[in-house]
Structure 1
Amino acid sequence: MLAILYVSHGSRVAEGVRQANHFLKQCMDQINVPIQQICYLELVRPDIQEGISRCIKHGADCVIVQPILLLSAGHDKRDIPDEIEKARAVYPNVRFIYGRPFGVDDSIIDILVERIHEKHSGSVQNDSILIVGRGSSDLETPRAFSRICAMLAKRGISPVSVCYMAAAKPLLKEGLELAVEQGPGKVYIVPYLLFSGILMRTIRKSIETSVNRFSFVLCKPLGYHPSLIHLLRKRIRESIDYDRLSAQS
């Protein structure tokens, strides 16, 4: 029997966990798979091993492990695969399929454009966009944001720059300063985040304490947008199709 285990990030902010669970339950209602469970990478229970155990107790012999992550970095490449390998050792008769994160996709770009237009209804010719990512030491992260900037430029939105909350440069404070130097217009800041938790508070504080604070307009984060439900369903269909092809070969 097939199961899907959704691996959410986890947060110290209860509202962030609530938002994630609400989003995932909406998605679960639209996916015809008999066993579906939610677990967390950190800070919240159940963890991944507990989530896998629950799937198997409900009768699963094949588990799609689906990360609820925007981009591929350390959690996607190391942490979750390590947990899957641990589970394979405990449950040798269970198949595990590892799904893809949301990744760089046109639907994500649609959400970014929507977030910008919520605050800016006219042309952005004299203004600029600053995307704020979580940050990672993984080299795929800046490459992903380069693709995002290029896709936004094709939609007529430029200039677009990127900064990070941690682990990559430029960091937030420097990113704000560099964005102001690009021109006399406003800087529209788009947090590349799924929920408005601690990182959003940090962004707000950095804006409020900046000498250029009146130049900044803070947009909403990506959030658990309805378009992400469709993208998540797409990722799950990819995993199911992969399983079917593997069974036939």
Structure 2
Amino acid sequence: MQAVLYVCHGSRVAKACEEAIAFVERCKAKIDCPIQEVCFIEHAEPDIETGIDRCVQKGATRIVVIPVLLLAAGHAKHDIPDAVQKARQRYPHLDFVLSEPFGVDEKMIQIVVERIAEQSAPLDNRSMVLLIGRGSSDPDTKRDMKAIAKLLQEKANIPYVDVCFLAAAQPSLEDGLQKAKDSSYKTIFVVPYLLFTGVLMKKIEKQLRTFSSSNRQWVLCNYLGYHPLLEELVKEKVNRYVATNKKG
């Protein structure tokens, strides 16, 4: 029997986990699959092992694992595959299919454009956008963020889009803000490229306050959140793998 396991990041902030669960529930309602479970990589329960166990207990013989993550980094490349590999040893009869994170996709660009458009400040030829990623030591994270920035600049006709990171990658948040401050752009739209609220948003807000006295207009946009377009992306991924299985 077919199952879908949604793997969310997890957070110590209860609201962030609640947002993730609510998102998965919306996805479940749009997907025709008899078994659908949610789990978390860290800081929340159930963990991936328990999520897989729950699928098996409900009769799963094939599990499509959907990482509810923005980019391919350590969690998607190591933590999730390692957990799946351990599960294969416990359940050798099970067929696992591991999907990819959201990645570089035009729907992601649409979400960023919407977050910018929500603000009252106009986006004109004196404006730039600073995308703030979570960060990772994995070079693919930096590569993908740069690709997203380039696509955003092209699709939304933005004069300049720059990228910085909250941890484990350069340029840092402080360096990114300083570069924007030193630029000729009068309005800087700061876009947290994050799925959920929490300590990272607080870090951005705190750092931004130290730059607010400069002769620039700093516009902090909302984090991406669990946007309806992400529900469409999840549905596309699930249907791709379920349809492949049905054809076989």
C-alpha separation in 2, matches of 1:242 and 1:181 = 51
Q: Which amino acid aligns with 2:71?
A: L
Q: TM-score, normalised by structure 1?
A: 0.95
Specify the SS of the correspondent of 1:137: coil
Provide, for residues 39-60 of structure 1, a one-character-per-residue CA deviation record: whole Å limited to 9, x for no partner.
Answer: 0000111100000000000000
Q: Does 1:219 align with 2:218?
A: no
> Secondary structure, in 3 states, of the residue corresponding to 2:118?
helix
Structure 2 residue runs without a partner (length 5+): none
Q: Which amino acid aligns with 1:138?
A: D
Is 1:119 the counterpart of 2:145? The answer is: no
Give, in angstroms, the shift of residue 179 of structure 1: 1.2
Q: Which residue of the partner structure matches residue 166 of structure 1?
A: 167
Report the CA distance between 1:120 and its aligned residue. Answer: 4.9
1:36 equivalent in structure 2: 36
**2:17 is the alignment partner of 1:20:** no
Identity of aligned residues (%): 43
State the 1:14 CA deviation. 0.3
SS of equivalent residue, structure 2 residue 186: coil
1:180, 1:239 → 2: CA distance? Answer: 46
Q: Does 1:70 align with 2:61?
A: no
Matches of 1:2 and 1:39 in 2, distance apart? 17
**Shift, 1:235, TM fit:** 1.3
| Structure 2 residue identity aligned to 1:35 | I
Residue 201 of structure 1 corresponds to which residue in structure 2? Answer: 202
Residue in 1 aligned with 2:191?
A: 190
1:127 and 1:183 in contact (8 A); partners too: no
What residue is the counterpart of 1:142 in the other structure? 142
In 1, Cα distance between equivalents of 2:185 and 2:235: 42
Shift of 1:121: 5.6
Contact 2:66 2:98 in 1 (8 A): yes
Q: Structure 1, residues 117-159: CA drift from partner, whole Å, max 9, x if none?
A: 1115634210111000000111111211121122112220130
Of 224, 231, 239 in structure 2, the residue corresponding to residue 229 of structure 1 is 231
Alignment CA distance shift 1:184-1:153 (3 Å)? closer
CA shift digits 1:193-232 (9 cap, x unpaired): 0112111011001111236466321000111111110011
5+ residue gaps in structure 1? none
Letter in structure 2 aligned against 1:175: G
Secondary structure of 2:126 counterpart:
coil
